[in-house]
Chain A
Amino acid sequence: GENVEQHPSTLSVQEGDSAVIKCTYSDSASNYFPWYKQELGKRPQLIIDIRSNVGEKKDQRIAVTLNKTAKHFSLHITETQPEDSAVYFCRFSGGYNKLIFGAGTRLAVHP
């Protein structure tokens, strides 16, 4: 069935370093790939997304890249700051409106 794998599960970086999180999916019918951020004790919120007809999208320090042939998309955070510490989720469509999240990556940015 439909599946999305997210790696790594935890990531620890020093402030100012870059962080990369990758999701691999199984269903080639997906055409929209968002990333959500969840701070401790709060609800998930969309931070960036990309459509399948685009290879890369940037928004200040965050970017998302998509490789449809290899069926993976990645979140890139540059110049990380302590406020980037959170859990990040990719999301995948397992069918019309059947929206499934990756297992999450806990990012810790150390000052």
Chain B
Amino acid sequence: NAGVTQTPKFQVLKTGQSMTLQCAQDMNHNSMYWYRQDPGMGLRLIYYSASEGTTDKGEVPNGYNVSRLNKREFSLRLESAAPSQTSVYFCASSDGTSREAKNIQYFGAGTRLSVL
């Protein structure tokens, strides 16, 4: 039981390049999330997927796209990377089965992305 797995762990991109961050969970969770964390800052929600087949914008969605490929996997794509997207990206999942659910989130180890 690996929990939430993110790949890659580190990535350096040039401005304008594209890439996809992968996230997979093996806890049979319904909900998945992508956050970014800038140095010394909090976690800002980029996109989330409340259940398989749905995705919604979070606080800072501009410049990103997501795909909920299946229940296990939720990917984040940067189509044209910009230096402002340099950050640590965390994927998380939770068992958001109802409005009363605790939604305890389990986080991946993070992807450290630098855009030059």
Query: Chain A: residues with CB nearer than 8 A to chain B?
Result: 6, 31-32, 34, 36, 42-46, 49, 89, 91, 93, 96-104, 106
Q: A43-B90, A43-B110, A97-B31 are in contact. Are A34 and B42 (CB under 8 A)?
A: no
| B104 CB contacts on chain A under 8 angstroms | 34, 46, 49
Task: Indicate if the CB atoms of A100 and B31 lie closer than 8 Å.
Answer: no
Complex interface residues of chain B between 94 and 116 (CB less than 8 A to chain A): 94, 96, 99-100, 102-105, 107-110
Query: Chain B: residues with CB nearer than 8 A to chain A?
Result: 31, 33, 35, 40-45, 48, 50, 56, 58-59, 90, 94, 96, 99-100, 102-105, 107-110
Task: Indicate if the CB atoms of A45 and B50 lie closer than 8 Å.
Answer: no
Rounded to whole angstroms, the CA-CA distance of A91 and B43 in the bound complex is 10
Rounded to whole angstroms, the CA-CA distance of A36 and B103 in the bound complex is 13
Rounded to whole angstroms, the CA-CA distance of A46 and B94 in the bound complex is 12
| A100 CB contacts on chain B under 8 angstroms | 45, 58-59
Q: A31-B100, A32-B103 are in contact. Are A44 and B43 (CB under 8 A)?
A: yes
| B102 CB contacts on chain A under 8 angstroms | 32, 34, 49
Q: How near does chain B come to A11, taking the closest CB pair, in angstroms?
A: 14
Choose one: A43, A46, A99; the contact of B48 (CB below 8 Å). A99
| B50 CB contacts on chain A under 8 angstroms | 96-97
Task: Indicate if the CB atoms of B107 and A104 lie closer than 8 Å.
Answer: no
Rounded to whole angstroms, the CA-CA distance of A104 and B109 in the bound complex is 18
Rounded to whole angstroms, the CA-CA distance of A83 and B90 in the bound complex is 23
Q: Can you give 28 A-B contacts (C-beta < 8 A)?
A: A31-B100, A43-B90, A43-B107, A43-B110, A44-B43, A44-B107, A45-B107, A49-B102, A89-B43, A91-B105, A96-B50, A96-B99, A97-B48, A97-B103, A98-B45, A98-B48, A98-B56, A99-B45, A99-B48, A99-B105, A100-B59, A101-B42, A101-B43, A102-B42, A103-B41, A104-B41, A104-B42, A106-B40
